[in-house]
Amino acid sequence: MVDVARDFWVQVLGALEPQLKRSDFLTWFQHSALLERQASKVIIGFPTVLTRDWVVNKYHAKILEALKVCDANIETVIYEVDGTLSNPEHNLSIDIKILSPTFKKVRKIRNKDELTVNVDGVRSKALNPKYTLDTYVIGQENRLAHAACMAVGKRPGTAYNPLFVYGDVGLGKTHLLQGTGNMILRNNSNAVVAYMTSEQFTSEIVEAIRRHGANSFKDRYRNVDCLIIDDIQFLAHKERTQEEFFHTFNSLYDNNRQVIISADRPPKELSDIQDRLISRFEMGMIVDVQFPDYETRLAILHCKCREHQVLLPNEVLEFIAFNVHHSIRELEGILLRAIAQYELEQSAPTVRSVATIMKKLNRGGEFAVLEEGREHRSLAKTAEDIIEIVSDYYKLTRSDLTGPLRKKEVLLPRQICMYLIRKELDASYEQIGEEFGRNHTTVMHAFEKIIRLMRKDGKLIRDINALKQEMGL
């Protein structure tokens, strides 16, 4: 039985390898194993929590495709952690570096058509069970979108139909869509939920036409309880696919079946999409997802740490939250690398080590360091030193910063100066107030204002970093 399990997993890896970068394949599937195989379910093991969670997040759909290539009956994949798999002597663990040539042989003996997954909507049913609405971190920027998805999950086909979710790449749209699909299944185990990207939808149409199976394709997708299409903008210029989607949409809508769609922009801004499709997208609920603010980003990081069962220093999480301004995906990627470092080196990451990770990811060196300055010996010994450095940087005089002037070109440098004195010298609000002839409330407001601005103002971050360099930090 052990040999059978190993041989089957080798076949699956052989189907999976061409879909991944070589480095990613070697990193995440080394010492993986098929722990159990039943009629329609498999249990796959990985040596660490980090590896398992990363694979589930990134590769679940591809793994299910590869499994279907080898056994069309498989519908359910369970991922488990087995620390003993890292032991080369484990009888199920596979060293993919050694077996890599075997994968090539497996692919050669397979008929090309077998590598095209086309088994009754397998691609459409690849919902990731890890994506739930319960684990979605709610902030002001996504509250409405989350509420709309919850309503659809409870009453599909009647609450908001269609539901159109839009936002930039990496902001959690896929989590919302798949979480809604999983909620529908949780509330009704007999429901059929079809999830796919627009590119997968196009591929299946092309394949159905090639195999003269257009009717079976129509039957399959016009009879689901919920159709979820991710990244609908990629249907642009694909007239045949748009035609089929139009009729599929009408059939589902007329029968009170739920349709959920995502895109990177609102319907009216979609280019090269038929007007009749745009009008149907606008029939229902349209919600947007924006980049989360600092507090939500920090909450996401804490949530991810709980998922991975690790406890990282607060200053490290704050540093990541302050300095990632592009996508949640990037936020999680940096955190996962910090966790990996923690597991490998058995020592907690620091702000300095995380900054090094971010630089290696080509993010440059413009970071807002929150607490790290206290680890260095500063050339600025007193508040007077900092006032002099800030006044020189902004070409102001000391009396400009400490005097009564409230011009814009003076007010911000003064607040920056108060922020730096507080942060780097650990001075009290009252002590800083004495230096500037202000009360402690004014200083506190200045400090908090600079923190708020640093969450969204890249130029301010660059200025503060430049000032810290002048201060020898």
DSSP 114-157: GGS--STTTTTB---TT--STTSPP-TTTHHHHHHHHHHHHSTT
Overall average pLDDT of the 38-50 stretch? 87
Phi, psi (deg, nearest 5) at residue 183: -70, -40
Q: What is d(CA 119, CA 205) in angstroms, rounded to the nearest whole number? A: 13
pLDDT tens digit sequence for 150-181: 999 999 998 899 999 998 888 889 999 999 99
- pTM here? 0.55
**3-class secondary structure, 238:** coil
Mean pLDDT (whole number) for 348-375: 63
pLDDT computed for residue 343 by the predictor: 75
pLDDT band per the 50, 70, 90 thresholds, residue 106 = very low
pLDDT at 394: 92
Residue 367 binned pLDDT confidence (cut-offs 50, 70, 90): low
Residue 77: strand pairing partners: 42
Instruction: Provide the angle, in degrees to the nearest 10, between the axes of the packed helices 2-16 and 96-109.
Output: 80
Q: Mean pLDDT throughout 222-238?
A: 91
Domains of the chain, CATH where assigned:
2-111 (3.30.300.180), 143-288 (3.40.50.300), 294-373 (1.10.8.60), 376-470 (1.10.1750.10)
Tell me which of 298-307, 364-373, 432-441 is least confident.
Answer: 364-373
Q: Using one digit for the tens of pLDDT, what is the confidence trace for 253-311?
A: 999 999 999 999 999 989 899 999 999 999 999 999 988 888 889 999 998 888 877 88
Residue pair 251/221 in contact (Cβ under 8 Å)? The answer is no
CB atoms within 10 A of CB 435: 19
**Has residue 328 got a pLDDT over 80?**
yes
- 3 state SS of 39: coil
| Model pLDDT, residue 20 | 81
Residue 1 CB neighbour total at 10 angstroms: 6
- By DSSP bridging, strand 76-81 and strand 193-197 are unpaired
